[in-house]
Structure 1
């Protein structure tokens, strides 16, 4: 039996208390270097999509190229390259992701932390 892929959640906080700010790109990039998919909610998607497509070099190239899955009931479309809105049941979609072959899926927001807790 093949081991299920993992959804790996990370929380980034600086020494001055800033949590998940776009300027923390190096830490975000390092976590996602081992992943082939990035799972996020709408708020993180909107923050990342406003910043990363306008950056070049590492880690921006990696984050722009990676497959991105966005859990949202309010977004009608996702225009950032390699981004797919999760259609339908989020729990089932993420459970299906875990059954697929591949590297881990990285998650760095609240939606991702919930996804990482799925059996």
Structure 2
């Protein structure tokens, strides 16, 4: 069985939209595309590499797939070589061409398709971007590990990591570190049901 994990850029107020550049996703009038750029330093790059790991296939939504497919095939660096070589499992309808090498369309209900994929033998499934995929899989309790790269900025608008439909559950912090710019990288693993109590 595969493990499903994320490596997600998020603002202090939970926004994950268009972290990489102004043209990435301006939908909804979002005007802060590229908001992570000022906070990257060498250490954060190393922490990002750790968060992504080395042995994975990609699990992507349509918009993230289109952004990646337009960018990575023409690059020749370590991340590009990894992304170009691995399998890409894509939540996209038949109108979206999957021309990037090793791309596979997920058919039917997304949660059920991912549940079936997760049950197979193979590499971890790493979600990058893909907010709608994250929302659907959190609601179906299919994500095993969340790595959240939190940046010290409040954006006030935009697509958020949690959409109010995630299945309740407890998570355990297994690793955390930070860069000199104030970005914090924390990894959580699924840890059973929500426990409650009272201070009364």
TM-score, structure 2 length as denominator? Answer: 0.48
Q: Return the match for 2:4 from 2, 7, 17.
A: 7
Could you say if the C-alpha distance between residues 69 and 98 of structure 1 is closer, same or farther in structure 2, counting changes exceeding 3 Å?
same
Q: CA deviation at 1:115?
A: 5.4
TM-score, structure 1 length as denominator? Answer: 0.76
Higher helix share: 1
Match of 2:54 in 1: 33
Whole-Å separation in 1 of the counterparts to 2:93 and 2:123:
27
Whole-Å separation in 2 of the counterparts to 1:28 and 1:72:
27
Match of 2:134 in 1: 113
Whole-Å separation in 2 of the counterparts to 1:74 and 1:104:
25
- How many residue pairs were aligned? 112
CA contact (8 A) 2:59 2:88 kept: yes
4+ runs of 1 displaced by more than 6 Å?
none
Whole-Å separation in 2 of the counterparts to 1:31 and 1:114:
19
| Coordinate RMSD, CA, aligned | 2.9
CA contact (8 A) 2:7 2:51 kept: no
Map Cα deviations across residues 71-108 of structure 1 (whole Å, 9 max, x no partner): 02363421000001112222111001111112210001
List alignment gaps of at least 5 residues for structure 1: none
CA contact (8 A) 1:42 1:71 kept: yes
Whole-Å separation in 2 of the counterparts to 1:20 and 1:29:
19
Match of 1:21 in 2: 20
Whole-Å separation in 2 of the counterparts to 1:18 and 1:28:
20
Map Cα deviations across residues 30-86 of structure 1 (whole Å, 9 max, x no partner): 615231x11111110010001000001301100001100110236342100000111
Counterparts of 1:68-79 in structure 2, within 5 Å, are: 68-73=88-93, 75-79=95-99
Match of 2:117 in 1: 97
